[in-house]
Amino acid sequence: MSLIDTIIRADVRALAAYHVPDSAGFVKLDAMENPYTLPEHLRAELGKRLAEVAMNRYPVPSYSELKHKICTGLGVPAGYDVVLGNGSDELISMLSVACAKPGAKVLAPTPGFVMYAMSARFAGMEFVGVPLKADFSLDKPAMLAAIAEHKPAIVYLAYPNNPTGNLFDESDMVDIIRAAQDCGLVVVDEAYQPFAQASFMPRLPEFANLVVMRTVSKLGLAGIRLGYMSAASELLVELDKVRPPYNVNVLTQAAAEFVLDHVDVLDAQAASLREERARLSVALSVLPGIEVFPSAANFLLVRINHEKVNGNDVFSALLDRKVLIKNVGKMHPLLENCLRITVSTAEENRLLLDAVMASLAP
């Protein structure tokens, strides 16, 4: 038996690492990033602000100023606080660690964000996936039955969902939150909220077991890695105990505090992307053999139903033309022949459309 076999858990050895492809030289439409940068004058101001940061010192772990700006500027209800993470991924990990009692389970609709299952398994928890309906809506009876059977410590509901892009029915979600009140938390993941303009954040006071999680990544700050979640104060106190004390670095803190003073710029960029989403959806839907699903996020899920090419063919053809999107066709049976395309600028969307049209005429 090798050293690796001796010391590394068998379930970890069986996992595949989260793969991020090299995107150098590509039109990058695979990771739901905001393509817009800050205006030049704000970049100059931010540069000065970052130059003054004391990088020789640890962050002040309370992050009180940053948390205040998030709460007041991003719609957190009055009287509610937030816990910060190095992106949403760390928040998901913190939730898993805090709730990983022996036999505890995590439940989520599938297909969904892969880190819900991966983080659960890393923490030694069982993951239970409940398939969505064929139209990607919640199968509420199946969700309620799974909650009754498994008593999950955590239920994840992405709002809107990744990779499907749709908003689940609000009343279905409320029924799920209520059904889980006696056994666990329901985490509403609102990573794409700036593009959905719908949120459970204002409803936090209604449900003691509700956690609302967001990130600033999709707003245009993916590079600084900052996520936040809010919930009832007694719950946040417990979750904060498993947060590493210096998990948000001083450069992220300074950059976020600065940009949150100019959140109107980010809001305007999100509005532009919503407009581009509508235009791109129409342009793709008129192409032969392409089904475009409704999206409330900054990406579109499309299915290739072409008589001559499939999803893999189109994905490969786009790679040849230096356009990088996400091939999700093997993630779940419901996603067969599906591709996920990040909405970008008008120019990059035009390049994408040209590449797609070329791929349909092999």
Helix (H) or strand (E) holding 130: strand 126-131
Give CA–CA dist 104/344, Å, rounded. 40
Count of residues in the chain: 362
CATH 3.40.640.10 residue ranges of the chain are 58-261
> Mind listing the pLDDT tens digit for each residue in 117-146?
999 999 999 999 999 999 999 999 999 999
The structure tokens listed for 277 are 């989403």
Q: Could you tell me the pLDDT band of residue 350, with boundaries at 50, 70 and 90?
A: very high
> Cis ω on the peptide bond leading into residue 163 (within 30° of 0)?
yes
User: Does the N-terminal peptide bond of residue 202 adopt cis geometry, omega within 30 degrees of 0?
Assistant: no
Non-local (6+) Cβ contacts of 125 within 8 A are 96, 99, 100, 104, 105, 106, 153
Strand 227-230: give its sheet, edge to edge. 83-85, 227-230, 210-215, 185-189, 154-158, 105-110, 126-131
DSSP string, 71-125: HHHTTPPTT---EEESHHHHHHHHHHHHH--TT-EEEEEES--HHHHHHHHHTTP
Average pLDDT over residues 176-191: 97
Fold of 58-261: Aspartate Aminotransferase; domain 2 (3.40.640)
Contact 79, 203 (CB under 8 A): no
Contact (Cβ atoms closer than 8 angstroms) between residue 159 and residue 197: no
pLDDT tens, position by position, 256-293: 999 999 999 999 999 999 999 999 999 999 999 999 99
Residues of the chain with CATH 3.90.1150.10: 3-38+264-359
CB within 8 Å of 104: residues ≥ 6 apart: 125, 126, 152, 153
Q: How confident is the model at residue 362 (pLDDT cuts 50, 70, 90)?
A: low
Whether domain 3-38+264-359 has CATH 3.90.1150.10: yes
Extract the tokens encoding 42: 């704000």
User: Looking at 133-142, 234-243, 353-362, which range is the least confident one?
Assistant: 353-362
Q: Pick the closest to residue 342 from 302, 304, 300 (CA basis).
A: 300
pLDDT tens, position by position, 58-96: 998 899 999 999 999 999 999 999 999 999 999 999 999
Residue 238 pLDDT greater than 80, yes or no: yes
**pLDDT tens-digit series, residues 226-235:** 999 999 999 9
The distance of Cα 77 from the centroid of its chain, to the nearest Å, equals: 22
**Do 148 and 140 contact (CB within 8 A), yes or no?**
no
Helix 64-73 and helix 250-260, axial crossing angle in degrees, nearest 10: 30
- Which pTM value belongs to this model? 0.94
Average pLDDT over residues 324-341: 97
CA-closest candidate to residue 323, choices 360, 349, 295, 300: 349
Looking at residues 28-42, what average pLDDT do you find?
95
Residue 281 CB neighbour total at 10 angstroms = 17
Residue with tokens 């590493």: 244
Average pLDDT over the chain reads 95
Query: So what's the pLDDT on residue 334?
Result: 97
Q: In which band, very low, low, confident or very high, does the pLDDT at 18 lie, cut at 50, 70 and 90?
A: low
Which pLDDT belongs to residue 19? Answer: 67
pLDDT at residue 181, rounded to an integer: 96
Write the DSSP string, 313-346.
Answer: HHHHHHHHTTEE-EE-TTT-GGGTTEEEEE---H
